[in-house]
Amino acid sequence: MQAPFSLLDAENTLASPVPVPAGRATQMLALTILWHPDARRIGEQYIATARSADIDVNRFAPLFGAPGGRCAPLDQRRVARDSLRLRRHRDDGVSLLLPQSRMRVELNGAMLAAPETRCTPEQVDAGLVIGLGGVVLLCVHWMDRLPQDSAIASVRGVSAAAIRVRELIRQVAATDLPVLLLGEAGSGKELAARAIHQASARCREPMVTVNMATVGASLAEAELFGAGTGAFAQAGEGSVFLDKIGKAPQPVQAMLRRVLQTREYRPPGARTKEAARARLIGASDDDLHDASFNQALLRRLEALVVQLPPLRARRCDIGVLALHFMQAWSARTGGAPELPLAFISQLCVYDWPGNVRQLGSVVQRALSVAQAGEAPDFGTLVPGVAGRPARTRPGKLGAQAVLDALEANGWLIRNAALALGVSRPSMYKLMEAHPAIRQIGQIAPAEIDAALAAHGGDAGRCAAALKTPSEALRRYLRGRMAGKVS
Ligand SMILES: Nc1ncnc2c1ncn2[C@@H]1O[C@H](COP(=O)(O)OP(=O)(O)OP(=O)(O)O)[C@@H](O)[C@H]1O
């Protein structure tokens, strides 16, 4: 498989294959529908291609659309006929000029009363969330490209950043070089790795994931290079995804560098070398340019870099992502309750330090609360918001909420407990009492083997399929590899 020539410079490296326009000068002001009573409209956009013109937003204009779809106005009775006017200033600040009508207009969750509110360029950079008539939420933001369809459908988002990530995934999938995925925790690195694998010529072979933060130094070598059982052996011609690659022990980093250089490795205890045919995809939340990471390995991994932007830098994606998590919940449970618009508005205004993963777990918990007939409270559901850590009483959590939190958090107990706002001991109790969650000791080895085979050796997906915590499954597999369990 050959890399497209245009992606690479003389040193066979690529910093950023997609040119990023400099500054706001090349940016178009855009309006994205964050929320609308007709869910199909969520994510539709209007892009102002003329720099100077005001944008008038009312019931009949402008027209919003998605690539390949029809364009339509907001068309809601509670959105006024006269316009909220958006005026772009020379410094790229934006003023909101209220309509004559008494329509309720909110900016970032606060009701506007003054005839004109001027937002600074920095506020516009962060994305403005505008509520209209208590029915529709819009995001005002910048776009440096026009919306476009993509075959990389699993990576959702309508922002310029999401379009860029999908373009990069498509481009790197066509090459055979190692890839490094960088981004904050929960920003979608593993999802991107899977999308790269799926879009590549290796998609019929397994992608084997190893989380270097949870593999102890003594077992890392066997887990990666073990004869027959190591990640490289199991992946064959597929892909090896090394999550948290920065946490790999030093000797393993040196081995990975040699593998990338020579395309072969020697399994521990073996006399002969094996060919390393799998493609390596690494991911990290940390900066790897520090002395503790093998810089020669970094240079090889940096051949292709995909940077996953934090969710707060692409606020206009929050609506489509929240809808995606609601639809997933609905598909699992047979229907999702409606969440109040004020709650959705809070979702759209929040900065999401835990990124898409945190958004997903908050949406799921809100749905569980709403299903139980209560109003979801943002301050309770989001730990640390408004300065108070969320603490949920375990007794208040339904079985579905516990299952949802584990599913949304890759079956990691620690993350699920955090998402639910309960302590780790309470989480253990909730799991023990849960009728569907199993302890690893309750599962027959043959069932574990069948699940491993069905999921290409990916322990995370196996844990989800077996409904057992992934830490315990990994411990069990490590023990088995070391010959402690049968
Ligand atoms: N663009 C997206 N579209 C749909 N779902 C997404 C997107 N980005 C992330 N997610 C979802 O958010 C969750 C977290 O994503 P993922 O596990 O890929 O993040 P990560 O960056 O690998 O996290 P970590 O660094 O903690 O391992 C997953 O459920 C994933 O499916």
Among residues 259, 281, 307, the one where a domain terminates is 307
Cα–Cα dist 352/367, whole Å? 18
Contact 359, 337 (CB under 8 A): no
Separation of CA 298 and ligand 1 centre (Å) = 23
> What 3-state class would DSSP assign to 296?
helix
347 and 363 both lie in a single domain: yes
Q: What is the CATH number of the domain that holds 237?
A: 3.40.50.300
Contact 322, 355 (CB under 8 A): no
At 217, the pLDDT band (50, 70, 90 cuts) reads confident
Cα–Cα dist 329/337, whole Å? 10
Question: What burial class does residue 40 get, using C-beta atoms within 10 Å of its C-beta: 0-12 exposed, 13-18 middle, 19+ buried?
Answer: exposed
Tens of pLDDT, residues 452-462: 888 777 777 78
Q: Is residue 5 part of a domain?
A: no
Contacts of 16 (CB under 8 A, 6+ apart): 305
Contacts 24+ apart (CB under 8 A), 44-50: 44/69, 44/72, 45/143, 45/147, 45/158, 47/143, 47/146, 47/147, 48/88
Among residues 276, 307, 338, the one where a domain terminates is 307
The predicted model scores a pTM of: 0.77
Name the nearest CA neighbour of 158 among 73, 50, 85, 64: 64
Q: Is the pLDDT of residue 344 over 70?
A: yes
276 and 389 both lie in a single domain: no
Q: Is residue 402 part of a domain?
A: yes
35 and 118 both lie in a single domain: yes
* DSSP helix, strand, coil percent of the chain (3-state; round to 5): 40, 15, 45
Task: Supply the pLDDT for residue 397.
Answer: 76
228 and 99 both lie in a single domain: no
Q: State the total domains in the chain.
A: 4
Q: Is residue 238 part of a domain?
A: yes
Q: Is the pLDDT of residue 62 over 60?
A: yes
Q: Is the pLDDT of residue 240 over 70?
A: yes
356 and 300 both lie in a single domain: no
Task: Supply the pLDDT for residue 349.
Answer: 95
Contact 134, 354 (CB under 8 A): no
State mean pLDDT over 385-408: 68
Poorest-pLDDT segment among 182-186, 223-227, 385-389? 385-389
Task: Supply the pLDDT for residue 15.
Answer: 32
Positive or negative: CA dihedral 442, 444, 447, 451: positive
Separation of CA 129 and ligand 1 centre (Å) = 23
389 and 282 both lie in a single domain: no
* CB distance 246 to ligand 1 below 6 Å: no
Mean per-residue pLDDT over the chain, rounded: 87
Contacts of 290 (CB under 8 A, 6+ apart): none
Among residues 263, 287, 307, the one where a domain terminates is 307
Tens of pLDDT, residues 148-172: 888 899 999 999 999 999 999 999 9
Q: Is residue 1 part of a domain?
A: no
Q: Is residue 10 part of a domain?
A: no
Separation of CA 326 and ligand 1 centre (Å) = 15
Cα–Cα dist 251/133, whole Å? 60
* CB distance 185 to ligand 1 below 6 Å: yes
| Rg over CA atoms, the chain | 24
Q: What is the dihedral of CA 327, 331, 335, 341, to 10 degrees?
A: -10
In this structure, the residue with its CA closest to atom 7 of ligand 1 is: 188
Task: Supply the pLDDT for residue 392.
Answer: 63
Output the CA–CA distances (angstroms, integers) from residue 102 to 79, 111, 140, 309, in the order listed: 10, 12, 21, 38
* CB distance 319 to ligand 1 below 6 Å: no
Poorest-pLDDT segment among 12-16, 141-145, 294-298? 12-16
Task: Supply the pLDDT for residue 427.
Answer: 81
Poorest-pLDDT segment among 27-41, 160-174, 369-383? 369-383
CB neighbour burial string for 107-120, b if at least 16 within 10 angstroms, e if fewer: bbeeebeeeebebe
Q: Is residue 80 part of a domain?
A: yes
DSSP β-bridge partners for residue 86: 55, 96
36 and 113 both lie in a single domain: yes
457 and 323 both lie in a single domain: no
Highest averaged pLDDT of the listed ranges 44-58, 337-351, 450-464, 468-482: 337-351
Q: Is residue 150 part of a domain?
A: no
451 and 326 both lie in a single domain: no
Task: Supply the pLDDT for residue 385.
Answer: 62
Cα–Cα dist 413/182, whole Å? 24
* CB distance 186 to ligand 1 below 6 Å: yes
CB neighbour burial string for 358-390, b if at least 16 within 10 angstroms, e if fewer: bbbbbbbbbbbbbbeeeebebebbbbebeeeeb
For the CA of 243, the closest atom of ligand 1 is 27
295 and 388 both lie in a single domain: no
Contact 233, 275 (CB under 8 A): no
* CB distance 59 to ligand 1 below 6 Å: no
Q: What is the dihedral of CA 255, 258, 262, 268, to 10 degrees?
A: -20
User: What phi and psi, each to the nearest 5 degrees, are found at residue 343?
Assistant: -70, -45
Separation of CA 166 and ligand 1 centre (Å) = 14
Q: Is residue 457 part of a domain?
A: yes
Poorest-pLDDT segment among 84-93, 382-391, 434-443? 382-391
Task: Supply the pLDDT for residue 17.
Answer: 33
State mean pLDDT over 23-42: 88
Task: Supply the pLDDT for residue 1.
Answer: 31
Whether the upstream peptide bond of residue 62 has omega within 30° of 0, thus cis, is yes
More confident residue, 409 or 144: 144
Name the nearest CA neighbour of 347 among 334, 331, 371, 366: 366
Strands 28-35 and 45-48, sheet pairing: antiparallel
Cα–Cα dist 37/217, whole Å? 52
Tens of pLDDT, residues 280-291: 999 999 889 877
In this structure, the residue with its CA closest to atom 6 of ligand 1 is: 188
Q: Is the pLDDT of residue 213 over 90?
A: no
Q: Rounded to a whole number, what is the distance in angstroms from the first to the last CA of the chain?
A: 40
User: What phi and psi, each to the nearest 5 degrees, are found at residue 325?
Assistant: -70, -35
State mean pLDDT over 258-285: 94
Q: What is the CATH number of the domain that holds 106?
A: 2.60.200.20
Task: Supply the pLDDT for residue 13.
Answer: 31
455 and 327 both lie in a single domain: no
Cα–Cα dist 422/390, whole Å? 8
- Give the percent of the chain with pLDDT over 90: 62
Question: What burial class does residue 103 get, using C-beta atoms within 10 Å of its C-beta: 0-12 exposed, 13-18 middle, 19+ buried?
Answer: buried
Separation of CA 114 and ligand 1 centre (Å) = 40
* Beta carbons within 10 angstroms of residue 125's beta carbon: 15
Tens of pLDDT, residues 95-154: 999 999 889 999 999 999 999 999 999 999 999 999 999 999 999 999 988 888 888 999
State mean pLDDT over 396-422: 76
User: What phi and psi, each to the nearest 5 degrees, are found at residue 116?
Assistant: -135, 135
Q: Is the pLDDT of residue 72 over 90?
A: yes
Q: Write out the residue range of the structural domain in which residue 460 sits.
A: 440-481
Separation of CA 282 and ligand 1 centre (Å) = 15
316 and 300 both lie in a single domain: no
Separation of CA 308 and ligand 1 centre (Å) = 10
ipTM of the complex: 0.99
Cα–Cα dist 185/357, whole Å? 8
Q: Is the pLDDT of residue 351 over 60?
A: yes
Q: Is the pLDDT of residue 387 over 70?
A: no
Task: Supply the pLDDT for residue 208.
Answer: 96
Task: Supply the pLDDT for residue 425.
Answer: 67
